[in-house]
Amino acid sequence: MAGAKPHFIVFANEKGGTGKSTTAVHVAVALTITGRKVACLDLDQRQRTLYRYLENRVASAKRLATDLASPRFDVIKVQTDEGFDAQIAELSEGAEVILVDTPGRDDPLARRAATMADTLVTPVNDSFVDLDLIGQVDPETYKIRRPSFYAELVWDARKARAKSDGGTVDWVLLRNRLQHLEARNMRRVGAAMDELSKKVGFRIIPGLGERVIYRELFPKGLTLLDVKQLGELGMSHIAARQELREMVSALSLPPAGALAPFKALEPAA
């Protein structure tokens, strides 16, 4: 509907190395391909991973003289509440989805973005090291002792959002890189996450596996959805694309009458 507020997706984790920006780029491109009007803001003014990825994508489209579906994107210019709000307002013009990628550290604007989120996505590597950011685990029983500081931060963001406009924050924990855990440890981590999800209120969905292909795609700004540019696909590529489709579907974003069926990401026969 014209003039409707964009759906606000925030990718946030104060720990680096969780695949946050890579996941954010793939979600942004996937939604763009399905017909959504997406705009992205990178809050990491120094590293600019999401911004550089999409900048590489635009350069590849020009170099290859081809059309690569790309969202609008920018990097934070003025690191104040007022500067953030001004850029969000600018990006919101004509957008159905606003996607914000935050730094892998505590950041005031990341906290502000969390209070505005409709969907808050926290990618984590499937390990107790990453889980400790959200909940402390007993070393003997592997049971959750108490929520950690980041869960409390999200709780505060949810309260601020409810007070601001009565809205809710759908917190999604994205389990990345599952295949590198041995079976018993995977079960323990999974059980602890399930227990913690009931205590602090997040959903758990599968993310992306650790694959060399993701690192190789960055210089060209390509994604697993750019079938024509990737050339011949191996089994690992096909499996990774399936992971991506399932991940975006599991985000359960509202269709608003504009989100094409996800089968649209399948290559033409």
Q: Which residues contact 149 (CB under 8 A, 6 or more apart)?
A: 133
Model confidence band, residue 184 (pLDDT cutoffs 50, 70, 90): confident
Q: Determine the 3-state secondary structure of 201 from DSSP.
A: coil
- Residue 2 in this model has a pLDDT that exceeds 70: no
pLDDT in the model for residue 3: 56
Q: Determine the 3-state secondary structure of 21 from DSSP.
A: helix
pLDDT in the model for residue 264: 40
Supply 56's token pair. Answer: 């590489």
Q: Which residues contact 231 (CB under 8 A, 6 or more apart)?
A: none
Task: Note the residue count of the chain.
Answer: 269
DSSP collapsed to 3 states, 247-261: HHHHCCCCCCCCCCC
**What is the rounded CA–CA span in Å between residue 54 and residue 25?**
8
pLDDT in the model for residue 268: 35
Q: What is the mean pLDDT of the chain?
A: 87
Classify residue 50 as left (phi > 0), alpha (psi -120 to 50) or beta. Answer: alpha
**What is the rounded CA–CA span in Å between residue 143 and residue 60?**
48
- Residue 267 in this model has a pLDDT that exceeds 80: no
**What is the rounded CA–CA span in Å between residue 20 and residue 24?**
6
Q: Which residues contact 248 (CB under 8 A, 6 or more apart)?
A: 27, 30, 31, 262
Is there a contact between 43 and 151 (Cβ–Cβ < 8 Å)?
A: no
What's the CATH fold of domain 7-265? Rossmann fold (3.40.50)
**CA 239 to mean position of chain CA atoms:** 19
Model confidence band, residue 263 (pLDDT cutoffs 50, 70, 90): very low
pLDDT in the model for residue 128: 86
Is there a contact between 91 and 113 (Cβ–Cβ < 8 Å)?
A: no
**What is the rounded CA–CA span in Å between residue 175 and residue 258?**
28
- Residue 213 in this model has a pLDDT that exceeds 90: no
Annotated domain spans of the chain: 7-265
- Whole-prediction pTM value? 0.89
Reported as a single tens digit per residue, the pLDDT across 214-234 is: 888 999 999 988 888 887 777
Reported as a single tens digit per residue, the pLDDT across 81-106 is: 999 999 999 999 999 999 999 999 99
Strands 144-147 vs 135-137: parallel, antiparallel or unpaired: antiparallel
Reported as a single tens digit per residue, the pLDDT across 35-83 is: 999 999 999 999 999 999 999 999 999 999 999 999 999 999 999 999 9
Tokens 């359960």: give the residue. 252
Tokens 């680096």: give the residue. 16
